[in-house]
Chain A
Amino acid sequence: MKPRKIASALLISGFSLMALSAQAFAEVTISFLHKWPEPQNLAYFEQAVKAFEASHPNIKVKMEAVADEPYKDKIRVLMASDQVPDVYFSWSGEFGKKFARGGRALDITDAVYGSDWTAVFSEASMGPFKYKDKLYGVPINVDSKYMLYNKKIFADNGIAEPKTFAEFVAACQKLKDAGVTPIAFGNQYPWAAAHYIGDLFGKLVPNATRLADYELSSPADTIYTDPGYVEGLTKFKELNDSGYFNRGSNALSHEIARGSFSAGRTAMMYLELVEFGQLKGTKLEQDGWDFFALPGFPDGKGDQGLLTGAPDGFMVSAKSGHPKEALEFLKFLTSPEQGADYVKMTGMTSAVIGSVTKDTADAATLKGLDVLNKASGLALWIDTDMDARSTEVLLAGSQAILNGTETPEQVMAKVRETALAVKKDRGE
């Protein structure tokens, strides 16, 4: 080539290289994946991203939102194809530990505990995101499960809030005798049954045993053998067989069941604190509603003060190209102002201490958070706390129990068998 041509080629490539690197220094893009595409919740995240980009002109956030059930698929596809987003949602407990074990989540112990960031969250909301004493995620909200009831129906039938499980069963029977459907229950996706079962396990199985079993650290000859498990499943079966749940729970979605509860057609429903906002403007609101934690057993071997619930949160990809910016974004999302906005706009209870107040939340949410803070501990959602395969067996088993095609003993035997197989696979 002629020297002139070579010179101009070099000059052009030189300039473009400078331009590209200038851009690289100027702008960083982080990817952000969460599981709240509902308009009301999405609006919060959109404004949070806008506010963050405004205060950090060199960082752009590419946000994506997928609903609850499809999220479980999407995150696995992204993991398998090594396209982990910089910041991604994770349930706490075993679900989050999976990412830590697989080297997919960044160890942020020092980033959080080594700064004032640690004052933002309670230890209880951070605990479920720890693996081998290291922190891998930050909580965005805290959630718990309560038995909500229609005040008018309870008053009409002379029923008071039950203090023990036996009183709860008696109340259900009284409602059934009066021709009212006691409990709305939609188990088309069987996590709904799992919440009942997890709560019962927490109250009937000694806590240390239960946690060791879920973690698969129990010895092979005792794992999942505690009689409390079968007892818990039996109690759940009895609720169904006594006719306290609506008809066809295995084919009814949770949302449709909630619809019948909020239309005032059923007396009670087991709902999450973050769902309280969905009841605004419904007939149930007119009738008046309140809630109680699912009561325990005076002779139960577990912890009767346990509340079923968990924090939800975010993790940073261990292979993120921009961990500093990702952590900046998370810190921004969990700042006091953002925490307050989160509560005001989504109605969910932010994990940021001091964000749920009279100014940001209604009385029911405040009471819900109060009960949560007073609980002796949280029994995490069992389908995110047990290993994935044993969970699938338990979930399918719950549907079988509702149909009467399998007994509690059979289901627990299958869970034990699966847990032993997973233990073997993990080489434990």
Chain B
Amino acid sequence: MMAIQHRMVPYLFVLPAIILLLVFVYGPAVENVIYSLYAWSSMSPDWRFVGFGNYGELFANPIFWTALLNNIVYAVVSVLFQVAFALGLAAVLQAGVFGPRLRSFFRTTLFLPSILPVTVVGLLWQLIHQPTIGLIDQLLYTTGLESLSHVWLGEERTALIAVVMVSQWQWTGYMMALFMVAIAAIPRDLYEALELEGASKLQTFRHLTVPGVRESTLIFTVITIFGAFKVFDIVWVMTAGGPNHASEVLGTHMYRSAFRDDVVGYASAVATVIFFLTISVGYVQLKLQRDHG
């Protein structure tokens, strides 16, 4: 009796957390899949069972594919900046190229954008991107480079990349700070050993730093990809997915379907697709980690 009770104790400790997860995470996720099998609107209490009809509509909808492609672009650019470039920045700062005060200054200022609320960032950059009166255009005009000017957020070719770059501005410094911690965990004597052997800074980076933070790189890449597939707020604030769906992402497509088109069942289907996409990415990460570790 006592032995069984003792074995129960750890489970009792995690029970509150599990209940919270079930109620606020797993429960709604399952409910969402059920919702996606019905056609319903927030306006009327009628629900109509349509089975996989919403999914059929989804895969036949060109806007869905545009959004998915945009998310993939988002993911690729984000990994380039928030993983590759951030690692480079972190390595530079950790390599002692700058003195301690300058290093601290750079780390702080590059990190700062990530603590700004997303709506503030969105509005700020919207103003910077404004046609003619925005900072970017003003800069181009005064330096005689008007020919390079575009209506950044209003043209279908530039809207998405403008929003994607704002995300990179916001998060690269944050990832850099995380990488700095990972690099600091590499034993110092390994660096000294390479220095004694006459290795250049670049060689040290390639052969010591990069392999040394391999685990972190994997996790950060996965987190960045997750974020790129779930992105909603920065896009909604800056372009609302426009013009003409050019910057539409799965998040804004889902939101618009639920709160403008009043087809909440279809929106639930989009949400389920996002869920499965991110689960797949997470699964790949787990597999890679297991193979390495």
Contacts and interface: CB of A to CB of B under 8 A. Distances in A.
Q: Is chain B a partner of chain A in the same complex?
A: yes
A251 B244 contact: no
B258 interface: yes
A388 B42 contact: no
Interface in B258-276: 258-264
Contact of A102 (B45, B154, B156, B256): B45
Interface residues of B, number: 31
A72 B152 CA distance: 27
Contacts of A403: 154-156, 243-244
B39 A405 contact: no
Contacts of A396: 242-245
A75 to B, nearest CB: 9
Interface in B154-182: 154-156
A309 interface: no
A248 B132 contact: yes
Interface in B5-52: 39, 41-46
B131 A102 contact: no
Interface in B187-225: none
B221 to A, nearest CB: 33
A406 interface: yes
B6 to A, nearest CB: 37
B151 interface: yes
B43 A102 contact: yes
Nearest to B129: A251
A400 B244 contact: yes
Contacts of B243: 250-251, 396, 399-400, 402-403
Contacts of B263: 389
B44 A102 contact: yes
At the interface, is chain B mostly helix, strand, loop or mixed?
loop
A405 B159 CA distance: 14
Interface string A364-393: 000000000000000000000000110010
B49 to A, nearest CB: 14
Contacts of A76: 42-43, 258-259, 262
Given A80-B264, A396-B244, A251 B256 contact: no
A301 interface: no
Nearest to B240: A189
A102 B41 contact: yes
Nearest to B262: A388
Nearest to B42: A80
Given A76-B259, A80-B264, A397-B244, A247 B131 contact: yes
Interface of A: 72-73, 76-77, 79-80, 98-99, 101-104, 188-190, 246-252, 256, 388-389, 392, 396-397, 399-400, 402-403, 405-406, 425
